[in-house]
Structure 1
Amino acid sequence: MAQISAKLVKELRTQSGAGMMDCKKALIENDGDTTKAMEWLRQKGIASAGKKQSRVAAEGLVDSYIHTGGRIGVLVEVNCETDFVARGDQFKELVRDIAMQIAACPNVEYISVEDIPETVAAKEKEIEMGRDDLAGKPDKIKEKIVEGRIGKRLKELSLLDQPFIKDQSITVAELVTNTVAKLGENIQVRRFYRFVLGEGIEKEETNFADEVAAQTGQK
């Protein structure tokens, strides 16, 4: 596998307008050949999608999803550029799928890794550095292991990094990018709220044996 430098990724990003991770993946898939990597991005619809990310997306939809049984509910806002696209079936399906994705992912708290506060990442690092299995390891090795674990943990908190529930071969970010390529507009997941029935309420713990005894007058 060819060594992919940050400079090469940056150059491809400038040419294509695609995201850093997409550019890096394209270069890896094509052994560092920028021309082939550019073709790869165009075939995936990512190059054109990347260029649209700078355009203002102020239209869109706020949609809801209530899971069977009414114990989990989601509100999500997804933006696009025009009301015409917002009213289309493809966009509505995307918003619905994203709402269902949020309902299915209890660990997700942020839209992307970039949205996660530094304080959260610092706390995760503090926890990982104190793990028993790292005791006695050299600092450089410990840092490398912790960096990998934190990266994985932060992705668990990010909506866009989740495998899409209807097609595990792509992430939610790739789902959005694919829809951008189809509809020709910038699309952004702006915010979401996840509701779990009873969450945050302190429930009184009752001993079952004591409860039965109280009901039968034995206590």
Structure 2
Amino acid sequence: MAKITAAEVNKLRKATGAGMMDCKKALVEADGDFDKAIEILRKKGQKVAAKRADRDSSEGAAIAKVNDKKTEGVIISLNCETDFVAKNESFVALANELADLALGHDNKDSFLSASYNGITVEEKLTEQTGVIGEKIEIGSFEKLSAPFVGSYIHAGNKIATLVGLSAAVNGAVDAAKDVAMQAAAMNPIALNESEVDQETIDKEIEIAKDQLRQEGKPEAMLDNIAKGKLNRFFKDNTLVNQAFIKDSKQSVSQYVKSVNSDLEVTGFKRVALG
């Protein structure tokens, strides 16, 4: 049997993130073979992942990243089972590393197949499932491109947002952050009224009509009054029409135009956990 040194155990721990005892056991089982020990730990992760496949992984860390040119951003959520793990520094560090890697990929499948320290992202998640003992997976993957992209991550990494602006003008950095904070706080369902799906519109009109009928309003008046209520719904639930949280006297669209008269919000992405 090969003698296992503390330095070898520490090297394996750094490479995999596994606990000291797990690393020592893997090295003993592998008779000191470092690569074989890594494989043993990965197989352990696969076994744990299989056992926990049906577990709910609604906790985790939502991370937003923007490229150096400020023209593209990504949000990923690294999901786990408990808030205790979600707050762990190593877990959050891994989420940030993976988000940096995600910037170079256009979709979740491409990202999961990407190389991370010699293994794929998907294999790394399986490995971490074995290390942590909880189901670990990528939940959300959202990309956004625009002439200028800004981001915001709410305290605790529970909500992350991206906002696209129509130009990289003076003040774009603050404007994008302000609007990204707005999206995080107010959870709009769409950018503007034209992007609200027809099913939602039909549902809101029907709800409004039912309320009006209960109030005793004549049937002939329902359509016009319901349209007014729908406009109120758009104002409350679409990002550019919402009252700006830092100054409720103006809408988000009006705030952005106060930064630059030609500036517009072109899109947003929002990911929330828990």
**Counterpart of 1:155 in 2: which secondary structure?**
helix
Partner of 1:78: 165
Residues 1:124 and 2:204 are matched in the alignment: yes
**Once the two structures are aligned, what percentage of the paired residues are identical?**
30
Q: Aligned partners of 1:139 and 1:59: how far apart in 2?
A: 46
Q: Please tell me the residue identity of whatever aligns with 1:149.
A: K
Moved more, 120-129 or 131-140: 131-140
Tell me by how many angstroms 1:116 deviates: 1.9
Partner of 1:68 in structure 2? 155
Asked if 1 retains the 8 angstrom alpha-carbon contact of 2:162 and 2:270, the reply is: yes
Superposition deviation, residue 71 in structure 1: 1.2
Tell me which amino acid in the other structure corresponds to 2:272: V
Listed as ranges, the matches of 1:1-219 within 5 Å are: 60-80=147-167, 85=169, 88=170, 90-106=171-187, 108-131=188-211, 133-134=213-214, 136-181=216-261, 186-198=262-274
Query: Retained in 2: the 8 A contact 1:134–1:142?
Result: no
The code of the aligned residue for 1:95 comes to: A
Measure the CA separation in 1 of the matches of 2:166 and 2:204.
Answer: 31
Residues 122-144 of structure 1, C-alpha deviation per residue, up to 9 Å, x if partnerless? 22112222237536532123223
Tell me, in whole angstroms, the C-alpha distance in 2 between the residues paired with 1:100 and 1:174: 16
Structure 1 consecutive aligned stretches of length 4 or more whose deviation exceeds 4 Å? none
Tell me which of the two structures has the higher relative contact order, counting C-alpha pairs closer than 8 angstroms and 6 or more residues apart. 1
Q: Is the 8 A contact 1:125 1:150 kept in 2?
A: yes
Higher alpha-carbon deviation: 159-168 or 144-153: 144-153
Assess if the C-alpha contact under 8 Å between 1:161 and 1:171 holds in 2: yes
**Greater Cα offset, 69-78 or 109-118:** 109-118
Query: Match of 2:256, SS?
Result: helix
| TM-score normalised by length of structure 2 | 0.43
More strand by share: 2
Q: Give, in whole Å, the separation in 1 of the partners of 2:217 and 2:248.
A: 36
Q: Partner letter of residue 150 of structure 2?
A: D
**Structure 1: 5+ residue stretches without partners:** 1-57, 199-219
Is the alpha carbon distance of 1:165 and 1:132 closer, same or farther for their aligned partners in structure 2, counting shifts above 3 Å?
Answer: closer
Give the unaligned 5+ runs of structure 2. 1-144
**Which is higher, the Rg of structure 1 or of structure 2?**
2
